[in-house]
């Protein structure tokens, strides 16, 4: 039987890794898929650049539309990233009767509902394992391995750049800006790192994971997103003294009122497995009612880790060539007609615990005023850490850990505390989770 012919949109890091993996493990892949898989054409921005993969037998072009319109290609692998023209190219490929594999988390998170509907109309398959957590097969694990469970919550470190920065701040006591500059030099962060450090990248991935976990439509616009740029070396140190580490966490949880969908810096107990995921590594913890807590750990980016997921998707698509569309694994784990309309909760309706750092005048009665405000808003204190003032300083840092409370109560209390004459500037607030 002849090999399945593939067209690549993008021949950068992941594209080259995909070509290398397909060629190196060709026999093993053919044994698993039932047929060989061969890249016959690829779109690249520049044709004269040296490649990290062999290109013999691959027709190169600068026009991605040539690839999706090529009558020979049966599967299109989209590795361009971003919103457009990726969306238009994917829709056109499907209209041409081609199956699609994509590593584009923004494309799936923002346009996935439209893309999946169009795939059904065209009778083709879309696969997107590589869009979340690189080489970790987390989508397949939730969608297929845990299909007998009711997922209660999942939490993940799903952006390697942010995790690298917080890891260096923890172990080396460095400032955020210094570590960010190093991450850019090492290639972990882009020249414009905002998608990573502001949480947008993680929010794209969490959108996809939440839909698969809970059977809801993709709703990127409803994710609460907060970055790590306000986290200081002092916050990392104070958290450590209290027995916690700060991680940039994506978390979704199903409650009786609705679904929490949020990305933000989070204090995790030092003993918690996710708290010990360091460097650029990714990890996702999933709580199922039958299986209990499960942890998935590995490389969240890179040429061959991500290519591993791309090739796995290619094999799955080839295996399903002869299946009727209704017999294929549903994209979001649940049948398309059975997706739930359970609401995504606004952040003010989420209940969590908090780390607070205040700069207050070093004088009697200040702490009493603060605890009174917290009490009036139904907020109880778990721990207090009061530091000595610096020589000659009028203000002293006070660190509080609270018990769980609704965000709306904390918003009101913070506004009242910041209005006190004794409190200087804005209060630093970081959420805390136990992940029990």
Kindly report the three-state secondary structure assignment for every residue of 143-208. Answer: HHHCCCCCEEEEEEECCHHHHHHHHHHHHHCCCHHHHHHHHHHHCCCCCCCHHHHCCHHHHHHHHH
The DSSP code for 247 is E
| Predicted pLDDT at 321 | 83
**Residue 380 CA from chain centroid, whole number:** 32
List the chain pLDDT tens, one digit each, 436 residues: 789 999 999 999 999 999 999 999 999 999 999 999 999 999 999 888 889 999 999 999 999 999 999 999 999 999 998 889 999 999 999 999 999 999 999 999 999 999 999 999 999 999 999 999 888 999 999 999 999 999 999 999 999 999 999 999 999 999 999 999 999 998 888 888 999 999 999 999 999 999 999 999 999 999 999 999 999 999 999 999 999 999 999 999 999 999 999 999 999 999 999 999 999 999 999 999 999 999 999 998 889 999 999 999 999 999 988 777 777 788 887 888 888 889 999 999 999 999 999 999 988 889 999 999 999 999 999 999 987 777 777 889 999 999 999 999 999 999 999 999 999 999 999 999 999 8
Close Cβ partners of 114 (under 8 Å, ≥ 6 residues apart)? 87, 91
| Predicted pLDDT at 110 | 96
Tell me the β-bridge partners of 244. 269
- Do the Cβ atoms of 59 and 41 come closer than 8 Å? yes
DSSP reduced 3-state for 1: coil
- Do the Cβ atoms of 195 and 160 come closer than 8 Å? no
- Do the Cβ atoms of 266 and 251 come closer than 8 Å? yes
CA distance 333 to 139: 9
Q: Which H or E run includes 424?
A: strand 423-432
| Predicted pLDDT at 108 | 97
Asked if residue 85 has a cis previous peptide bond (ω within 30° of 0), the answer is yes
CATH code for residues 4-135+303-330? 3.40.50.720
The DSSP code for 45 is S
| Predicted pLDDT at 255 | 94
Neighbour-count burial of 331, counting CB atoms closer than 10 A to its CB (0-12 exposed, 13-18 middle, 19+ buried): buried
| Predicted pLDDT at 363 | 84
CA distance 104 to 208: 11
CA distance 267 to 271: 12
**Residue 239 CA from chain centroid, whole number:** 23
Domain ranges of the chain: 4-135+303-330, 138-299, 349-432
- Do the Cβ atoms of 89 and 7 come closer than 8 Å? no
Query: What phi and psi, each to the nearest 5 degrees, are found at residue 102?
Result: -135, 145
Place of tokens 């594209």: 15
CA distance 245 to 270: 6
| Predicted pLDDT at 434 | 94
| Predicted pLDDT at 383 | 93
Predicted model pTM: 0.94
| Predicted pLDDT at 228 | 97
- Do the Cβ atoms of 310 and 103 come closer than 8 Å? yes
Measuring CA to CA, how many Å separate 342 from each of 115, 182, 206, 288, 339? 22, 43, 17, 19, 9
| Predicted pLDDT at 159 | 95
Q: Which of 326, 316, 325, 323 is nearest to 127 (CA)?
A: 316
Place of tokens 């904390």: 410
Query: What phi and psi, each to the nearest 5 degrees, are found at residue 357?
Result: -120, 120
Measuring CA to CA, how many Å separate 93 from each of 64, 107, 301, 355? 10, 15, 26, 49
- Do the Cβ atoms of 81 and 53 come closer than 8 Å? no
| Predicted pLDDT at 324 | 73
Which residues does the annotation mark as catalytic? Answer: 205
CA distance 364 to 362: 7
| Predicted pLDDT at 95 | 97
- Do the Cβ atoms of 311 and 29 come closer than 8 Å? yes
Name the CATH topology of 349-432: Alpha-Beta Plaits (3.30.70)
Q: What string of DSSP letters covers 308-328?
A: HHHHHHHHHHHHTTTS-GGGS
| Predicted pLDDT at 243 | 96
Q: Which two tokens stand for residue 206?
A: 């969490």
| Predicted pLDDT at 125 | 94
Question: 138-299, which class in CATH?
Answer: alpha beta
């Amino acid at each position: 039987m002849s090999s399945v012919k593939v067209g690549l949109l993008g021949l950068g890091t992941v594209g080259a890794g995909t070509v290398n993996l397909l060629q190196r493990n060709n026999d093993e892949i053919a044994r698993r898929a039932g047929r060989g898989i061969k890249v016959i054409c690829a779109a690249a921005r520049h044709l004269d650049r040296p490649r990290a993969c062999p290109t013999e037998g691959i027709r190169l072009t600068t026009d991605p539309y040539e690839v999706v319109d090529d009558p020979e290609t049966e599967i299109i692998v989209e590795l361009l990233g971003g919103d457009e023209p990726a969306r238009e190219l994917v829709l056109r490929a499907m209209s041409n009767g081609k199956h699609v594999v994509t590593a584009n988390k923004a494309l799936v998170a923002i346009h996935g509902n439209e893309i999946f509907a169009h795939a059904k109309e065209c009778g083709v398959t879309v696969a997107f394992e590589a869009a979340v957590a690189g080489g970790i097969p987390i989508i397949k694990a939730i969608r297929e391995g845990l299909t007998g469970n009711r997922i209660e919550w999942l939490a993940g470190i799903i952006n390697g750049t942010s995790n690298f920065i917080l890891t260096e701040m923890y172990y080396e006591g460095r400032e955020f800006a210094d570590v960010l500059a190093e991450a850019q030099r090492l290639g972990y962060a882009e020249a414009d790192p905002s998608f990573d450090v502001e949480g947008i990248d993680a929010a794209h991935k969490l959108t996809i994971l939440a839909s698969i976990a809970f059977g809801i439509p993709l709703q990127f616009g409803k994710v609460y997103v907060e970055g790590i740029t306000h986290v200081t070396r002092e916050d990392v140190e104070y958290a450590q003294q209290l027995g916690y580490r700060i991680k940039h966490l994506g978390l979704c949880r199903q409650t009786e009122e609705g679904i929490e969908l949020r990305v933000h810096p989070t204090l995790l107990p030092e003993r918690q497995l996710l708290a010990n995921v360091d460097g650029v590594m990714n990890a996702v913890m999933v709580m199922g009612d039958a299986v209990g807590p499960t942890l998935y750990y590995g490389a969240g980016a890179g040429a061959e880790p991500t290519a591993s997921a791309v090739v796995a998707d290619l094999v799955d698509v080839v295996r399903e060539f002869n299946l009727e569309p209704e017999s294929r694994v549903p994209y979001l784990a649940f049948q398309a007609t059975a997706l739930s309309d359970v609401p995504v909760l606004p952040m003010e309706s989420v209940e969590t615990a908090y780390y607070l750092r205040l700069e207050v005048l070093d004088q009697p009665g200040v702490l009493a005023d603060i605890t009174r405000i917290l009490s009036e808003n139904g907020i109880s204190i778990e721990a207090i850490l009061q530091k000595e003032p610096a020589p000659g300083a009028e203000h002293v840092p006070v660190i509080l850990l609270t018990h769980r409370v609704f965000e709306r109560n904390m918003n009101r209390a913070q506004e009242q505390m910041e209005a006190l004459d004794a409190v200087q500037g804005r209060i630093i607030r970081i959420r805390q989770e136990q992940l029990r």
